[in-house]
Amino acid sequence: MVPITYYLLLAAALFCMGMFGVLVRTNALVVFMCVELMLNAVNLTFLAFARMHGNSVGHVSAFFVIAVAAAEAAIGLAIVIAVFRSRGSVNVDDIRTMKH
Amino acid sequence: MNIELVLFGVFAVMTLLSAGLVITARSPINSAMALVSTFFFLAGIYVLLWAHTVAVIQVLVYAGAIMVLFLFVIMLLNLGDAPHRGKPTVTRLLGGASAVGLLAVLGVTLGRMDAQPARLDAQAQAAFGTMAAIGQSIFTTWLLPFEAVSLLLLVAMVGAVVVAKSRI
Amino acid sequence: MSFFDTHLLNVVIYLPLVFAALVLMLPSTEHGQVRTITFVGMLLDLVFGVWAYFRFEPSGAEFQMEFRVPWFQQFGMSYHLGVDGLAVSLLLLTVFLGPLVVLASTTYIQHRIKEFHLALLVLQTTMLGALASMDVLIFYIFFEAMLIPMYLMVGVWGAEDRRMAAVKFFLYTLVGSLLMLVAIVAVYFISGGPGVRSFDYGTLYNNLLAANQQLAACANGPEGACANLLPLAATLHTYGPWMFAAFALAFAIKVPMWPVHTWLPDAHVQAPVAGSMILAGVMLKMGTYGFWRFAIPLFPVAAHAARPFLAVLAVIGIVYGALMCLAQRDIKKLIAYSSVSHLGYCMLGLLAVTGEGATGSAYQMLNHGISTGALFLLFGFLYERRHTRLMSDYGGIAKVMPVFTAAFVIITFSSVAVPGTNGFIGEFLVLMGTFKSTLPLGFGAFATLGVILGAAYMLWMVQKVFFGSITHRENQHLRDMNLREMLTTAPFIVLVAVMGLMPQPFLDRIAPSTDRYVARASVGAPGATQAKDDQLRVEVMSLPSTAAAARPSVPAAPLAVRE
Amino acid sequence: MDGSLVEFFRTAPIPPEVFSPSLGLIILLPLLGAFVCGVFGKWLGRANVHLVACSAIAGAFVLSLLAFWATSDAAGGRVVSMVNPFGLERDTIRYAIAHDYGTWFAAGDFRVNFGLLVDHLSGILLLIITGVGFLIHLYSTSYMEHDDGYWRFFAYLNLFVAAMLTLVMADNLVLLFVGWEGVGMASYLLIGFWYTDSAKAWAGRKAFVTNRIGDFAFLIATFLLILTVGAFNRQADARDYNAAGSSRARYEQGISQRGPVTFKGLEKMALALPEGTGGAVSLATPIESGPLAGYTFGGVMTAALLLFLLGAAGKSAQLPLYVWLPDAMAGPTPVSALIHAATMVTAGVYLFCRMSSLLVLSPTAMATIAIVGALTSLLAALIAFAQDDIKKVLAYSTVSQLGIMFMGVGMGVFWAAAMHLMTHAFFKACLFLGAGSVMHGNGDETDIKKLGGLWKEMKWTHATFLISTLAITGIFPFMSGFFSKDAIFHGVHHNHLHGLEWVSTFVYVMGLLITASTAFYMSRVYLLTFTGKRSKEAKLAHAHESAWHMTLPLVILAFLAFVTFVYALPLMPRTGGGMQPVFENFLSPVLRPAEAVARAAETVHLDTSTPAVGDYFFAWLVALSGGAAAAFAYLKFFPSRVGQPVPAFARAVRRTAVNKFYVDELYEFIIIRPVKFTAFILFRVVDALVIDTVLVRGTAYVTEKVGLGLRRLQTGDAQAYAAIMALAILGGAVYALLQVLS
């Protein structure tokens, strides 16, 4: 029997790595992938708790999260393409037009 | 020292490794590939958590659909290696630090808790995490959110087309 | 129990709104019809207003012609109208100005005529509503709503830099009244527990009364008195001054007292004649009325503490305003500053907290409405002819406009309080009240200086504008007042004489509320002979029981949980 | 004379009780006239306006005559009398009729009534105002015949008369103040009558504002009296009320019904205040409660009276406020005659006679009044020496004469002051009208240097002017002026203010000086104007005598100026032996309380001796010397010196005098300029700069700048925002953790 704590620790680590990537990487695509990482960390937490309580609502949540992730990826990537069209770069440093 | 723990250890280590690769790889392609592997190992961990269905969906949707989408985009934009790793600005340092700090905090917190999986009787165990059980609750209890999500996906699809189109 | 026994005030208040609806239906090209309809509406309103004034029984209950129905009961509100002596007098003043304002604008306003008259009618309703509302929140709503039409009037139909003036006027007044809103809500919550508390003036006052009395005993009494205060009294002890400050600031800006008066000259200078008349005639009185009705009675102790300070401001206002007038070149500005001086008298009379002072102050409010309103009206006529406000552009026009000059001089005498005109009564009573009050004699003496300066600047202005030989060719062929203008001016002159020679009918209606005001204000004063509760307590009609049964007045959760 | 005639004169044609309710008509008639002339005058036309105006005044005169008659009614030995509302029932006011038209306004525990009172004092003034007023209206019909503003003129004139009558008949201070300001307003309108000449309009404004300074003091004094009455009511005890012939109940009833500032009520308080009464309240008693707490009754009384003095100085053109009167000559001459000589300017004297009983409570105040009067009188006389404008000379002589009246009032010779008021009204009106006639006949020439030799051409004017001059100077005795003035100086000489004995001597000496100088400058005016030969610079070669409208009033006034000396003769028996002047006896009902107070309070010693022949002779000599000096100077000295250079010091002196000792300039520099400057500075610095710019716009400015500053945070760097979010999360987590751990 693996203690749920391990899973949670794993999820935490995963989440923080994702976060790290989001905050540090400059390539918009990579940032997106890191976001996916974070989402997965959350999923993992859901499932861990589901297992912990022997209750499958966590699975449903995970399912929804995946669906939302799909939508998010679609839109996000579309935006990336649009941005790339207009600026020829996907570097977040170059995309800061929404300032004062 | 049972097999389950070993499997968990292997999967966990591999997950973390490939995740690390995701955030460190210079070229987006590598990151993407690393991410795929991360997903696979995670799917494994899901299985250890008796979440077969989700594991399957994970492989299908994520590794299958989403990542393919990513790869398409990357190739479409044919981005080579990032010429430079983003110069370490204050915000980046802060962000990284806070991520690490958060990890530490979470680590401490989780380290203090001892959570064990629920003990289930055989019949419940048999039903747990099966497609049937999940489908059951999705289509009864969570029907409305489910429909909402389907709508969301539709909207996302249309939106993606509209946003990404050069001209129709 | 006829319709008018219960609904007279409603009629007076909403009649202009009804006519506004009529005007709204007219095509905006039909100027004549728009004007006529508005005028008729105002006239009708005047009739009802006068009726209400005469229905008011000086010896009767404090608030009369009350009308109250449940409204938002879960917030402790109710739609509650009623007038006391002061309110009904100011109400009379308002309806009196109504038609004259319309007449005054017939040629002055040349564009967006329909909108202008709509604004006038709406403004009338809001002012009347503010005067007659017995529910603090409804008062506040009307009090704020007043700003909008006036803002438009200054900003759309004003003179050259009207926008600046309009914005200044709006923000200036808004600052104060928003603070007041906070204070209103606060006092509502401290005034009692769930179910008891209410926005109704009567309930609010009666709830605070006991605490105020105890607090007064504590503030002025021996050391021991402050022990074991009621919880409410304790709250008032801590927060009362702040709430009073919020109310006082709101009304002080409206009055306007020195040093928050600087919006007035700009607003007056830029406003069209109608705007100036209403602004001077009625809106400024909202400030003094607020002090009289809300700020001072609700927080007598804090008011008593702040009294010397406010009185000093009032005296400064009197002398300072007068001095300002001596430094003006712009006639409208001069009149505006003279308002600052006159309103200083009103405030001083209020703060004297003597029967004479308060009566004089109330009477001075009416006087100022008439004399200054008339001054703005008359100057409006002049401005229509010459389109300049500088004294130096006039001079010697008495030769070409004798009737106009006569009217203007008469009003001037009323404004400098020559005995026999209405101004004298008010000023005399205010000054005597100040001398009789517990304020040091110096206040009265300095305030009396205004008598000298008043004559100095008004006659100086008259001199510059009317006397001497004609210095500008443009002035040589000014035509004298026409019939319409005479008809507009006549009521003012008649009133000046009537109110100067037979003030008693007016004073009789003011007197009862004066006594009550003095009693309530002197709750906070140490030596003052404490009046009996039955004179202090505000007796108002309670909600119709049927409605009360229909909906239990226990507030709903969001407010109840706050305690 | 035989009894039936006496009986006739002692029986009023209309019994007092019947007449008194219609006292108000005396005021209403001129008011109505003013209204009609003012509103419809233009359409009525000249003749009708004259008719309306004159008949209004004539009617008022007739009514005044009836009222006056009623006040002396003693039909069947029963003297007319009324119950004093402030005294006990048995305490009655004799020789007076009154009527109360009810409340004017009442607030708190204060009230003012439309209460009219006519006693011998106000009766005399009624006759003067309406009588002289009528004559001057008549005169004006001819004098203003070429002016288009005639209807305004008569409206104003009627308005003035109405106000003046109100002033005189008022039975309380506030109503008196109505008249007080009313006459000021009317005089403002009349001085500025020819408003197209802005100098004249300025003169009007100057008069009004100067008067306002007085009114300011008057108001404060009134308030002080109100407070004093209140304090008196709180503190007085039965003995005080007894001494005043009243009782608490009656007194308070009187106050609640008639108001606190009724003259009769004040009189009662004055009677109760002296130490002699042995009551709880005396002049030295400190006031216990109220705003005046700590001050003594005597002190407050003195302060109030000094303030009244300032008020009276404003109205009656005394130091320091006399400056407006000379400029007031800008108005039409009849106005100068009526307002600025006969009636309005004497209001101050009337006020003090009215309040004589209060006045005698404060020697300080009395001394101040007397000295102010003396100084004013002398100063005005000196200025009059050098004036060449005939109206200016008369104006300054008016100021001087008023000063004499003030001396009389100040030293407690009220009857003489009142009498001088009357005689002065006659001869000074006559002089002014004469001057007007001269101007009328000489193309509005006012410079006496450019007149001369008129005695042939304007016989009537000359004769009447001569009589009046003699009357005012007293060069020829048996003229009203001589006697009234001498009565004042005699009283001044023999009355004593306790603690201030030196004053009487001082004032007396001043008085002699003034007599001499009056004689000098008046003779000068007369000689230069009427005698000698016609000056070269005269506008018209030959002056023409004025129409009968103008000469008739002159004759009547001259006649009155002559005969009224009879009143000064000691013909009436004094109560308690001896004889007393008719006028003193006549006013005694009014002044008795004052005497009583003076006796009880021992503040003033009122002498009742009558001048001996020697005194008269001395006074005559003094006057004569002045006249002789003038005659010598202007008939011999200067004519012989024509063309010779005048010594420098003489020129300097003359220049100073001509420029009225630069008093106007002084005021300009120490008062008017500073006030205007302060106003300007306040407006520019405090109002425009500090409040409006710094505070108001400053707030807006700061808000805007802060907003601009905060905008900088919006870098648009998504990662930065995310980093901040992350930090926040971290912070939250740490906090939660610490909470858990501790």
D42 falls within a domain: no
Which residue, among C330, C347, C549, C379, has the nearest Cα to C443 in the 3D structure? C347
3-state helix, strand, coil in chain A (%, to 5): 80, 0, 15
Contact by Cβ (8 Å): C414, C500 = yes
- ipTM > 0.90 for the complex: no
Rounded to an integer, the average pLDDT of C5-30 is 89
D63 falls within a domain: no
**Cα radius of gyration (chain C):** 23
Number of domains in chain D: 1
- pLDDT range class, residue C47, cuts 50, 70, 90: very high
- What are the Cα distances from residue D309, in Å, to D217, D358, D474, D626? 8, 13, 28, 31
- pLDDT range class, residue C553, cuts 50, 70, 90: very low
Contact B61 A66 (CB under 8 A): yes
- pLDDT range class, residue B81, cuts 50, 70, 90: low
Contact by Cβ (8 Å): B47, A45 = no
Which of C303-312, D293-302, D471-480, D638-647 has the lowest average pLDDT?
A: D638-647
Query: Over 80: is that where the pLDDT of C271 sits?
Result: yes
Query: Over 90: is that where the pLDDT of D288 sits?
Result: no
Query: Over 80: is that where the pLDDT of C559 sits?
Result: no
**3-state DSSP call for residue A90?**
coil
Query: Over 90: is that where the pLDDT of B12 sits?
Result: yes
Comparing B129 with C291, the larger pLDDT belongs to C291
Which of C109-113, C456-460, C521-525, D299-303 has the lowest average pLDDT?
A: C521-525
Amino acid at position C504, single letter: Q
A100 falls within a domain: no
**3-state DSSP call for residue C149?**
helix
Mean confidence (pLDDT) of chain C: 86
Which of C18-22, C50-54, C503-507, D72-76 has the lowest average pLDDT?
A: D72-76
Contact A16 B106 (CB under 8 A): yes
**DSSP classification of residue C78:** E
pLDDT at D277: 67
Cα–Cα dist D79/D73, whole Å: 6
D724 falls within a domain: yes
**Tens digit of each residue's pLDDT (9 = 90 or more) over D210-225:** 898 999 999 999 999 9
Contact by Cβ (8 Å): C524, C212 = yes
pLDDT at C377: 92
Contact B91 D734 (CB under 8 A): no
The answer to whether D723 contacts chain A (CB < 8 Å) is yes
Phi and psi at residue D704, in whole multiples of 5°? -60, -45
Residue D206 CB neighbour total at 10 angstroms: 21
Cα–Cα dist D31/D614, whole Å: 49
Amino acid at position C169, single letter: F
Rounded to an integer, the average pLDDT of C478-495 is 90
Nearest residue on chain A to B127, alpha-carbon basis: A56
Amino acid at position C144, single letter: E
Query: Over 50: is that where the pLDDT of C546 sits?
Result: no
**Tens digit of each residue's pLDDT (9 = 90 or more) over B110-124:** 888 888 888 888 888
Residue D409 CB neighbour total at 10 angstroms: 31
Secondary structure, 3-state, D97-136: EEEEEEEEEEECCEEEEEEEEEEHHHHHHHHHHHHHHHHH
Q: Residue B51: which residues within 8 A CB-CB, separation 6 or more?
A: A47, A50, A51, A59, A62, B129
CATH number at residue A9: 1.10.287.3510
A71: its two tokens: 């939508």
Contact B118 A3 (CB under 8 A): no
Q: Percent of chain B having pLDDT more than 70?
A: 93
Query: Over 80: is that where the pLDDT of B7 sits?
Result: yes
pLDDT at C555: 45
A93 falls within a domain: no
Query: Over 70: is that where the pLDDT of C124 sits?
Result: yes
| Alpha-carbon torsion angle C131, C137, C143, C145, nearest 10 | -120
Residue C112 CB neighbour total at 10 angstroms: 14
pLDDT at C225: 65
C473: its two tokens: 């060719």
Which residue, among D145, D564, D124, has the nearest Cα to D334 in the 3D structure? D145
Which residue is listed with tokens 């409605």?
C547
Phi and psi at residue D605, in whole multiples of 5°? -105, 110
Cα–Cα dist D112/B104, whole Å: 89
- What are the Cα distances from residue A74, in Å, to B27, C357, D486, D621? 21, 78, 121, 128
Contact D733 B94 (CB under 8 A): no
A80 falls within a domain: yes
pLDDT at C16: 92
Q: Enumerate neighbours of A (3 or more CB pairs within 8 A).
A: B, D
Cα–Cα dist A61/A67, whole Å: 10
Which residue, among D95, D100, D93, D98, has the nearest Cα to D120 in the 3D structure? D95
Contact by Cβ (8 Å): D133, D225 = no
Cα–Cα dist D483/D474, whole Å: 8
| Alpha-carbon torsion angle D604, D609, D613, D614, nearest 10 | -40
Chain A nearest C-alpha distance from B152 (Å) = 7
Does chain A touch chain C (at least 3 C-beta pairs within 8 Å)? no
Mean confidence (pLDDT) of chain D: 85
A-to-D residue pairs, Cβ atoms closer than 8 angstroms: 27
Which residue, among C226, C203, C202, has the nearest Cα to C216 in the 3D structure? C226
Determine the structural domain holding residue D735 and report its residue range. 712-742
D736 falls within a domain: yes
Query: Over 60: is that where the pLDDT of C547 sits?
Result: no
Query: Over 90: is that where the pLDDT of D487 sits?
Result: no
pLDDT, averaged per 10 consecutive residues of chain A (100 residues), comes to: 89 93 88 92 93 88 91 90 84 78
pLDDT at D46: 86
The answer to whether B168 contacts chain D (CB < 8 Å) is no
Residue A97 CB neighbour total at 10 angstroms: 9
Contact by Cβ (8 Å): D170, D118 = no
Number of domains in chain A: 1
Which one of D706, D708, D717, D725 makes the best mutation probe of the A interface by having the most chain A beta carbons within 10 Å?
Answer: D717
Identify the burial level of D102 via C-beta atoms within 10 angstroms of its C-beta, where 0-12 means exposed, 13-18 middle and 19 or more buried: exposed
Which residue is listed with tokens 């393919």?
B68
D143 falls within a domain: no
The answer to whether A34 contacts chain B (CB < 8 Å) is yes
Contact A23 D711 (CB under 8 A): no
Contact A17 B19 (CB under 8 A): yes
Chain A contact set for D712 (CB, 8 A): 100
Which residue, among C425, C417, C407, C428, has the nearest Cα to C499 in the 3D structure? C425
Cα–Cα dist D104/D258, whole Å: 10
A97 falls within a domain: no
**3-state DSSP call for residue A25?**
coil
Amino acid at position C33, single letter: Q
Query: Over 60: is that where the pLDDT of B5 sits?
Result: yes
Contact by Cβ (8 Å): C89, C362 = yes
- What are the Cα distances from residue C396, in Å, to C377, C392, C424, C466, C468? 20, 11, 28, 5, 5
Query: Over 90: is that where the pLDDT of C522 sits?
Result: no
D727 falls within a domain: yes
Cα–Cα dist D345/D14, whole Å: 32
Which residue is listed with tokens 């406000």?
C389
Chain C nearest C-alpha distance from D109 (Å) = 8
Residues shown for chain A: 100
Cα–Cα dist A78/B164, whole Å: 5
**Tens digit of each residue's pLDDT (9 = 90 or more) over C454-468:** 888 999 898 888 888
Buried b (16+ CB within 10 A) or exposed e, D432-458: bbbbbbbbbbbeebbbbebbbbbbebb
Say which of A2, A13, A21 has its CB closest to residue B4. Answer: A2
Mean confidence (pLDDT) of chain B: 86
- pLDDT range class, residue D636, cuts 50, 70, 90: confident
Cα–Cα dist D437/D552, whole Å: 11
**Tens digit of each residue's pLDDT (9 = 90 or more) over C492-503:** 999 999 998 889
**Which DSSP helix (H) or strand (E) runs through B74?**
helix B67-76
Comparing C284 with D696, the larger pLDDT belongs to C284
Query: Over 50: is that where the pLDDT of C548 sits?
Result: no
pLDDT at B8: 92
Longest dimension (CA), chain C: 78
Determine the structural domain holding residue A38 and report its residue range. 4-88
The answer to whether B123 contacts chain D (CB < 8 Å) is no
Contact D734 B106 (CB under 8 A): no
Chain D contact set for A23 (CB, 8 A): 719, 722-723, 726
Chain D contact set for A99 (CB, 8 A): 714-717
Is beta strand D81-83 parallel, antiparallel or unpaired with respect to D92-94? Answer: antiparallel
Rounded to an integer, the average pLDDT of D48-54 is 90
Contact by Cβ (8 Å): C243, C297 = no
Cα–Cα dist D593/D274, whole Å: 12
Cα–Cα dist D44/D63, whole Å: 26
- pLDDT range class, residue D588, cuts 50, 70, 90: confident
Cα–Cα dist C256/C340, whole Å: 7
Comparing C496 with C108, the larger pLDDT belongs to C496
pLDDT at D642: 67
Rounded to an integer, the average pLDDT of D10-35 is 87
Confidence (pTM): 0.84
Q: Domains of chain B, with CATH numbers?
A: 1-82 (1.20.120.1200), 127-168 (no CATH)
